[in-house]
Structure formats: structure tokens, C-alpha cells
Structure 1
Amino acid sequence: MVSNKPQHPPFSSFGWSLSGALLIALSLPPLGVYPLAWVGLVPLIARWALRRPSLDYVRELYALLLTTSCCVGFWLLFNPSASTAALGGITLFLVPIPLVVAFAISGVVRERLGLIAGLFALALNILAAEFVTLALGVSIPWLVLGYTQADAVEFIQMADIGGVLLLSLWVLLLNFTAFLALPRSDKPGDRYGERGVSMAIFTALVAIPVAYGGIRTAQADVPAAFTRVGIVQPGVSPMDWDRQSPTVKIDDLASQSDDLLQASARGSSAPDSTTNGRAVAENPSEIHLLIWPQTSLPFMGTNEGEAQLYDRLQRWTSQRGIMLLAGAETAPKGLERSYRPPRPGELANSAVLFQPGEEIVRYDQMRSVPFADRKAAQGTDRVLFHADGADIATAVGFESVFGNHIRQFTRDGADLIVVLSRNDLWGRSAGLYQHLQFTRLRAIESRRSVVISTVGGISALISPTGEIDEIAGWRDSETRSVQVPTYRGQTFYVRHGDWIGRWAFGFALLFNIAAIGLSIFAPELVGTKRIQAKRMVRRPSMV
């Protein structure tokens, strides 16, 4: 007996959808099993194709994506500050909302115009949601699909064309073609025709970025110059780092720096790093730029105290004939911390450059992840530091997660990127490795070297093709001299930014309004099958 009951699409059960949500989590760092993301959305898409748009489906989808959010961002709960950890827990509940909205709106389009139109709307809506997430001042970008490929160096070289959103589009297309390759009927044409085309497209989508990456890395840019920098990682635990008095902290950093400077002057510094797969020739020349990590210079309680500290460091750098780029906590004029504790948002996470005979230059962090960066007054101006012939862009904390923000410094003329971080605040957790791997994309997008300096996390040099050379590991107390290549020129992404997101947002807005509006007010313009189906249902009631 043949059943007339319609068959459900493969992988469309709730259990498979939950498996898909977990696959997306496993594809992100630190595990970084990136091929799982190529098919991880298929169960969610199959479920979306089956379910009618409803509040029940929205709740179900939110629960699924919340599972992904918690698996990826659970490390937010590890912050030593109980209040920051609690707010981080709230963040996990907010992360899935943009993707839930994208699926829900696309479900309405699919219900009215069919599967293909729904898939087109889904791609546009997800990219638009990610663009808004990255562009807003209050954003939590940990579920951006492109970041699932952060470990896939061979596949992500095309980020210099469209940034992380191009990688998101690529992941979506792989999942769509994998979904369309699933059997949906017993017709031979469906079995061997459409599915075969889908599998061929899937294979081509995998091959194209590999071919581009091979060509791009083979034609790696020649460095415009080299800058010798000294990296100082104190290797101090977060609790001890915050408890140290300003005098002890700065004396320890200065002592470690002096040891490094003396070793470099004797030509006995550690071996240099590699860049673009080529060893950089050892050069016993002295270090010209020292880098200290985020919050190396605490605010001294008063503006006068801060001025005295900066004068001392200015004299220290002049005596040694070097430049110092250090992370600092800074405050606007008039704030007297000695009279009361600082209120949230009063102090800024900053980078300060000291150079002999020159004025002190300061940059205040402009972008922060809510609740992850503990506080801070936001800066308003991009600042390039000029040191040893290089124009340096500095990202503080989790700023390096935002590609469009970093690429604007490169467009302004930066030929080297330095990240000052305290990602060890969350322990040896997933967040430590996510920050490192996400920052790799900034190097590829801009084709610039990236130096990461941390208090006790992982300090590293990232080449313009994404290779990571670890300078100091977890909780290592390490000083190292590194010769860093600097580069000129601008990639397509640097010139045009998140163009994919802007186009997707505009088209998504127009397509959603047009599709839903026409299906309501002019259904005859978008197809007749739905109209006929409604008439067939109504006829028996008219008899």
C-alpha cells in the first residue's frame, strides 16, 4: 500500500537541527574543524524548509542557536570579575537574535514565493544581519559564519577581496548546494539531474578559493621595509597584574626590556620569525621599538601623577634611544581618581607612544565587545603611530575582531598592525584562541603583518598570508626581538570595506518588502500555484 502522506525532507528533524547547531560550534576555534561548517547549516535549512513561520518555530530556532552561542562563548563566564562574568552570560542570550530574525523573515518569503526565493532571501538576510552586527557600536560578532573558517588558511586568502563577509557568503553557498543535493523525490531526473549539478557546484566552490589562495600566496608582496621590535610579555596572572602597584609593574617591565635591549645590542637575540614562508635574515642591529601589552600603564589617580609617569618613561626611552608603544589606562582632564573610584566608562583603554624628543601620542580604543572588554570610554579618532619609518595601526583588546574598523587604519596609510591585548583575563579558554585566530583575518584582509602583544596570553607575529608564529605562549614570561616586515599597497577589501554586507543589506531590504508585499497585494504577479491551491480548498465549501 502506497501512503499519500508527504515525505519529510532528509535531516529535517529537530534532532538533526540540534546536531547542525553543534557542528557550527565545533567548526569555530579553538577546535576549528572548519569543514563541519560547510554542511553544518544543512539540517537547520532542511528544518526551515519544512516548518511554517510561527512563534513556535522562532522559539525552536532560538533554542538551537543559543546552544551554538553557549558552546562558542561559554568562556565569557570565566572573567575574574563576577559582574563582568554575569554580564557575559547575558551576552550569550543576545548573540543568536540576528540569525533568528534572518531565518524567520526568510521563512515568510519561502512560504509565499517558494523554496528558491526563500533560499535567496535567507542568504541576503543572514549577510545583512552579520553586516549590522559588525557595523553597530554594540555588537557581538562571535557567530559570524565567516569566522568558522579562521583556521582554514588555504581557503581564506580571498578575504582580501571581501573580508569575513565574503567567507560567510562562501559558507552559505556550500550549505545551500549541499542542501539542494539532498533527495527530495523519487523522480530519476531529480535524483541524477538537479542533485548532480548541486554536487558539481559544491565541488567547484571548494576548489575555487584554494586555487585563488595558491596564486595569491605565490605572488606574495615584497616587503617595503623591516622594523625591528621588542616584545615584552610579563606572563603575570590577571589577579597579580591588577594588584601590582604602578611602580612595581613598570619597574618589572623596564627591567625585562633592558635585558632584551642589551641582548639585542650584543646580537644574541632569539631567532627571527618567518614571513610568507621565507625566513627573515638575522640582523643583530638594535631594537628600535618596544611593545608593552594592554594596561601596562595604569592611571595614576590624578592628572599630575599621570604626567609624572609619562615624563619618567619619556626620559627612559631617550636614554636608551628607543621608542615605546605601551597599553595604558587613561582619563580625560579633570578626573581625580584619588577622591573616588572611577565610574564605568570614565577610563579609556589606550595605546601611548613615547619617542625621544617628540610629543607623546595617544590612541583611545574606539570599538569594544559589550561585557567582554570590561569598560571603557570610547575614543573618536583613528591615530597612526610613526615609529622607525613605519606607520603603525594599533588595536586595543577585542578591536581586532572588527575587520572594517582595522581596514580603515590601513586605508589611512598604516603598513603594520599592532594588537595590545589582555585576553588572558578569561583564562586558558576558547576566547584566547578565538581572538588569535580571528585576528589572523585582519592580516589577510589588509595584507599586513600583525604583532599581538599580551600580558600572559599568546603573543604572536602573523604574516600577511595568515601564518602564525608564536612569540610567547600561555603565561610565559618572555622577551623577544622580532624583525617585522612592513608593506604598502591596498587590497580590494581595504579600498571598499564590507561591500558585500552593504549590498546584501540593501537587496535584503528591497527583496523582503517586494516579495512579501507583492504576494499580499498582487499575488498574480508572483505566481499562480498558490492562488490555485487556495481555490481548490475553497470550492468544496461553496457546494
Structure 2
Amino acid sequence: MGRRRPSALPLNSLGWSLAGALALALSLPPLGVYPLAWVGLVPLLVRWSARRPSWAYARELYAVLLAASCCVGFWVLFNPDPGTAALGGATLFLVPVPLTAAFVLSGAVRHRHGLGAGLVALALYVIAAEFLLLQTSVTLPWLLLGHTQVAGLEFIQIADLGGVSLLSLWVLALNGAAFLALPRAGRAGERGVAVAAFATLVAVPVVYGAVRTAQSDVPTGYTRVGVVQPGLSPRAWAEAPAEDRVELLARASDAFLARWRADAAAPDSAAPPDPAPPDPDAVRPDGLRASGYGLLVWPRASLPRPGSAAEAAALFETLDRWAGRRDLSLLAGARLPAGDDGEAASAAVLVRPGAPAATYLQMRRVSFADAAGVTGDRRALLDTGGARVAAAVGFESVFGDHVRRFTRDGADLVVVLARHDLWGRSAGLDQHLLFTRLRAVESRRSVVLSTVSGGSAVIQPGGAVTEVAGWMEPDVASVDVPLFRGQTFYVRHGDWLGRWALGLALALSVAAVAVGRYAPRPAPKRRKLAPA
């Protein structure tokens, strides 16, 4: 007697759906058990395939994904400002909306046109929803499916082809293959194909990453970067007078430069000497002199806030004299007057000997995390003489398309001035750091992350992370950062996958509405009259 096949798919319950959503949460930092995301959507897909699209199903799915949202972003409630904490908590309720909408809309396609069409529609709607989400700053772009893989260094190398959207599509494909591999009546052959597809999907990014690493470009040069981490608590940093903050950073910088000069003058015979600093008299093709000791980075909100353009000019002149005497370029976070009414904007200021001060005003802002104020509307590369820097302020580094535009314009180094330590030693530090790691892989550029209390790091173009200083540890780290000038496919074409998905999703929606409204309906069958 043959084995009886199950007539219904397993995992079809609310409890399994909740378990799948929590698996997605566990795949994100700080735990980062990224393989859980490869199958975390399977219970949701089973539930999706068995339920008719309805408001009841939408509410159920939203509640399940809200649980995952809270597990991932609960740290936003730790902000010392009650109003900001409340705004962050309210934002968590918006995080599940895009994924819920994608499941519900694709469920309508599945119900009318079958499982295969429904799965294709689901992929299109998810990628399109994530693309739209990344174009706004209204909600947290944390629960993107591609972000579940940021801890898997060997798997995220494909991001230089399509950014986080390609990683999201890859996660969806893995879950789709796992879903199709579940036992079904009369589907044994298809299950074997699904298992083979799952294994192939796992292998492809690993092979690509190995080939890409072997063919990695030779750096066009190196620039020495000194990252200053004050190591103060967020509250102590916020309450300290601006002059005290500058004095603290200047003393730490001078101590670092003194050590650097001593090491360069008398290197340790037991260790290889440091690379020689750039020639102070060297002149670049643009006629400007390269700074002798590279780039010094001070964290966000380091400088006093000037009240007017005249005060800002006086501040820049003072910094120029300080940097000139030390023969270095200084990149520091500031709040500068930018609006017509004097409203301030978060900014990065580059002071370089022999050149006017250059500024970049923050363009992208996450409402619950970044300081309120006006935003800039112009991308500006900050030229240190040894590198062309793309500065990202706050959570701007979460938006891949925003950062890659600087690289397309010629940036060969990315510096992030962040304050994600405002929430204490929370999961937010790891999440921001590893989400920023994708910017290094997407553009194949080195990324320097500077913070006040902890989490400062240098990310290599392949995604390897080197911590600069520990939590609440004051330090100045000197790193010789490799510079690259090539452009990846993602840098050249941006979020091409999201744009295509959005266009196809809109076309699919229009076609589905048209078919439902104008397609001829079969005539009702006539009932036969019983004989008298």
C-alpha cells in the first residue's frame, strides 16, 4: 500500500506565521542569524496561499509583522528625549505597512490567476514597496528583506549589482523555493526542482563574491584618516558647552599627532614602519597642496553653532588656522544656519589649509532619529587634497541610492558622521553599522563611521569591519584607508531593480483591474425544470 500524501500544506497557522516573522527579526542585527531569513517567510507564504485576500487577513498579517518590527526597533524608545522616543515608537507601527500591502495585493492576483502568477506578483510588489519606502524619510527602512543578510559577508557581495533590492529579491527567491519544496499531493517532481533551485540560489552569491574578490581592483592610493572618538556619554556630550567639546577634541587630536610624528621619526625596529606621509610641498593637478597628515575626523555636532553667516565665517577662519598649523584637513560635524529665518541644518564642514572651507548640508533625514531643521538640496564632494569625500550625516547612510550618487560624481571615500549612540549601547548601533556596510559593498569604497560614545569603525570596500574604539572608550585611531576610483554596476545604474519592479507592479495592477472589470463573464447556467 503506497504512502499517503498530505492533502494540505503544513505550517498553515497563525502561530507558525508569528514564528516566521520572529525568525526575520532574529536574522537582523544585533543577533544577525541571517540564514533564518531564507525560510522565515515560508509560514507566511503558506498562510498567504490558503487565505482569501480580506481585511481580516490583512489585520492578521499586519499584527504578525508588527511583532517583528517591535523586536527589531524597540531601541528607538530609549531616546533620552520623551518626545523623540514617542515619535520613534509611533514609527514602528508604520514599518510593517509596505510588506503587508505587498502580500495582500499579490494575494488578490493569486486568487484570480493562480499560485505562479501570485508568487511573481508578490516579488514585484515587495521590491516596489521597498523602493518607494527608500524614497521617503517617513518611516524606518529597517525591515527591508535585504537587510536581513547584512551579517552574511559572503552573501552580500551581489549588492554591487543591485543594492539592497537585489538582496531582497534573493531572499524572496529562497523563500519561494523553500515554499514550493513543501510536501504537496502529486508534486514530488516539482519539489525536487525546488530543492535544487534553493541550493543553487545559496551557491550563486558565494561564487560571485569569490570571483569578485579575486578580481578586486588595485587601490589608486591611500589616505591616512584619524578618527577621534571622545568617549563621552550622549548626555554628557549634549550638556557640555560647545567650546569644551572643541577643546576636548583638539587636545585628543594634538596628542595623536604628537604620537604619529614620534613614530614616524623613530619607528620601532621590530615592526614595519608606517607609510610616509604625503609630501607637504606636493602640488596636485588642480593647484592645491595636499595636507601632510591626511584627514582628521571629528564626530557629528562637534562645532559651536554659529548664529549668523558672519559668525560661521569667523569659526571657519579659526579652524583653518588650527588645521594649517598642524598641516592636516579637518572634517567635523556642525549645525549651520541655512534657512531664510536662520533655521539650522545638520552639516559636515571640511577645513583644508590653503583652500576655502567646504560644507555639505544633510539631505536625507529619518524623522525620529535626526535633528529637526532644514535640509540641503545639493550634493557636495569635500576635497581633502588626498581624497574626494562623500559625507553622510546621521542616518543618511541607510539610503543606498543617496550615497551611491556621490560615488558616481567622483567620491573615492565615504565618511559617516553619526549619533546613533543617543539610544545608549542598543541594537541600533549594530544595525546602523551593518546597514552602512552595504554602502561599502555597493560602491566598493572605504567607509569611515565616526561617533561620539562608541561604534566608530572603518569598513573596507569588501565589507570587512574594523572597530576604531569600544563603547565609552576615548581614542584616536589612525587608519591608512585604500581609495578606489572605479564604478560598480549599482553605482552606474542605481536602484534599477526597484524602478523596474515598480513599473511592472503598476502595469500588473492596472491589468488585473481591467481584466476584473471588462473581461466577459460566463453566462449563468439555466436550471432544468423537473417534469410535471
**TM-score w.r.t. structure 1 length?**
0.90
Matched, 1:399 2:391: no
After superposition, the C-alpha distances for 1:394-450 in whole angstroms (9 at most, x for unaligned) are 101100000000000000000111111111001111111000000000000000011
- How many percent of aligned residue pairs carry the same amino acid? 57
The structural deviation recorded for 1:521 is: 2.2
The structural deviation recorded for 1:333 is: 6.6
Q: How does 1:375-524 map to 2 (within 5 A)?
A: 375-522=372-519
After superposition, the C-alpha distances for 1:257-314 in whole angstroms (9 at most, x for unaligned) are 0011111111269x9xxxxxxx997325362211101111131444444333322211
Contact 2:91-2:139 at 8 Å conserved across structures: no
The structural deviation recorded for 1:124 is: 0.3
The structural deviation recorded for 1:184 is: 2.0
Matched, 1:299 2:305: yes
2:181 aligned partner: 181
Q: Structure 2 counterpart of 1:283, which letter? A: P
Contact 1:422-1:457 at 8 Å conserved across structures: no
The 1:210/1:542 distance shift into structure 2, 3 A limit, reads: farther
1:290 aligned partner: 296
Matched, 1:332 2:328: no
After superposition, the C-alpha distances for 1:178-237 in whole angstroms (9 at most, x for unaligned) are 00011122x3xx12x000000000000000110000111111111001101111000111
1:365 aligned partner: 362
2:349 aligned partner: 352
1:263 alignment partner, one of 244, 259, 269: 259
Contact 1:109-1:516 at 8 Å conserved across structures: no
1:64 aligned partner: 64
Contact 1:298-1:330 at 8 Å conserved across structures: no
Task: Give the match's secondary structure for 2:142.
Answer: helix
Contact 1:303-1:335 at 8 Å conserved across structures: no
1:315 aligned partner: 321
Q: Structure 1 CA distance, aligned partners of 2:361 and 2:139?
A: 19
Q: Structure 2 counterpart of 1:10, which letter? A: P
1:170 aligned partner: 170
Q: Tell me the C-alpha RMSD between the 2 structures.
A: 2.1
2:234 alignment partner, one of 226, 234, 238: 238
Q: Structure 1 counterpart of 2:320, which letter? A: Q
Contact 1:21-1:68 at 8 Å conserved across structures: yes
Q: Structure 1 CA distance, aligned partners of 2:190 and 2:272?
A: 51
The structural deviation recorded for 1:318 is: 1.4
Task: Give the match's secondary structure for 2:170.
Answer: helix
Q: Structure 1 CA distance, aligned partners of 2:308 and 2:452?
A: 25
Q: Structure 1 CA distance, aligned partners of 2:190 and 2:336?
A: 61
The structural deviation recorded for 1:70 is: 0.5
Q: Structure 2 CA distance, aligned partners of 1:350 and 1:102?
A: 36
Q: Structure 2 CA distance, aligned partners of 1:303 and 1:490?
A: 37
Q: How does 1:16-165 map to 2 (within 5 A)?
A: 16-165=16-165
Q: Structure 1 counterpart of 2:304, which letter? A: P
Task: Give the match's secondary structure for 2:228.
Answer: strand
The 1:213/1:83 distance shift into structure 2, 3 A limit, reads: same
The structural deviation recorded for 1:66 is: 0.5
Q: Structure 2 CA distance, aligned partners of 1:489 and 1:179?
A: 40
Contact 1:327-1:351 at 8 Å conserved across structures: yes
Q: Structure 1 CA distance, aligned partners of 2:520 and 2:65?
A: 33
Q: Structure 1 counterpart of 2:485, which letter? A: R
Q: Structure 2 CA distance, aligned partners of 1:370 and 1:408?
A: 22
Task: Give the match's secondary structure for 1:231.
Answer: strand
Matched, 1:207 2:203: yes
Q: Structure 2 CA distance, aligned partners of 1:415 and 1:451?
A: 12
Q: Structure 2 CA distance, aligned partners of 1:54 and 1:539?
A: 31
Task: Give the match's secondary structure for 2:157.
Answer: coil
1:342 aligned partner: none
Which ranges in structure 1 are unaligned for 5 or more consecutive residues?
Answer: 1-5, 272-278, 337-345, 525-530
Higher mean alpha-carbon deviation, 283-292 vs 90-99, is at 283-292
2:224 aligned partner: 228
Task: Give the match's secondary structure for 2:486.
Answer: coil
Contact 1:227-1:388 at 8 Å conserved across structures: no
After superposition, the C-alpha distances for 1:101-158 in whole angstroms (9 at most, x for unaligned) are 1111111111111111111100000000000001224342111100000011101111
Contact 2:230-2:452 at 8 Å conserved across structures: yes
Q: Structure 2 CA distance, aligned partners of 1:307 and 1:364?
A: 16
After superposition, the C-alpha distances for 1:458-515 in whole angstroms (9 at most, x for unaligned) are 1111111000011112111011111111001100000000000000000111112213
The 1:181/1:225 distance shift into structure 2, 3 A limit, reads: same
Which ranges in structure 2 are unaligned for 5 or more consecutive residues?
Answer: 1-5, 278-291
Q: Structure 2 counterpart of 1:429, which letter? A: S
1:339 aligned partner: none
2:3 aligned partner: none
Q: Structure 2 CA distance, aligned partners of 1:388 and 1:13?
A: 61
1:249 aligned partner: 245
Count residues in correspondence.
507
Contact 2:264-2:274 at 8 Å conserved across structures: no
Q: Structure 1 counterpart of 2:140, which letter? A: I
Q: Structure 1 CA distance, aligned partners of 2:57 and 2:232?
A: 48
Q: Structure 2 CA distance, aligned partners of 1:128 and 1:370?
A: 22
The structural deviation recorded for 1:541 is: 9.6
The 1:184/1:541 distance shift into structure 2, 3 A limit, reads: farther
Task: Give the match's secondary structure for 1:295.
Answer: coil
The 1:294/1:19 distance shift into structure 2, 3 A limit, reads: same
1:274 aligned partner: none
The 1:477/1:506 distance shift into structure 2, 3 A limit, reads: same
